[in-house]
A = this chain, B = another copy of it.
């Protein structure tokens, strides 16, 4: 069987994701980890991001376009994506678990979870738009 070995690079990648809350792409994680390990490889970042996600220690986000993003917060929560600047932020609102049972009733299968992305314009971009009028 395959036993997991400790790796400083993996630690750094996980720490990076726990520390920041902007849901970085693999490339952004790469840039961040490079400050500590100047010659870490991008492949290592991808390999460990996938490993950590498969282990359930981080989460993958597919926000509708562009590269995949990663989230160090594995608790179920919703995200808001600004159409203008593309930033992805957490929404401090309750997850509606009852939607799963409601959905299950009309699909003939077994539903265990759902993912929701909210779209709109963030506060910062609204402010900027106002100034340019």
Binding site for B on A (CB under 8 A): 60, 62-65, 78, 80, 82, 89, 91-93, 96, 99-100, 102-104, 106-123, 125-126
Contact = CB atoms under 8 A, between A and B. Distances in A.
A96 B99 contact: yes
A131 B26 CA distance: 41
B108 A123 contact: yes
A82 B109 contact: yes
Given A91-B103, A111-B118, 13 more contacts: A62-B62, A82-B109, A93-B103, A108-B122, A109-B120, A109-B122, A109-B123, A109-B126, A111-B120, A113-B118, A113-B119, A114-B116, A115-B119
Nearest to A109: B122
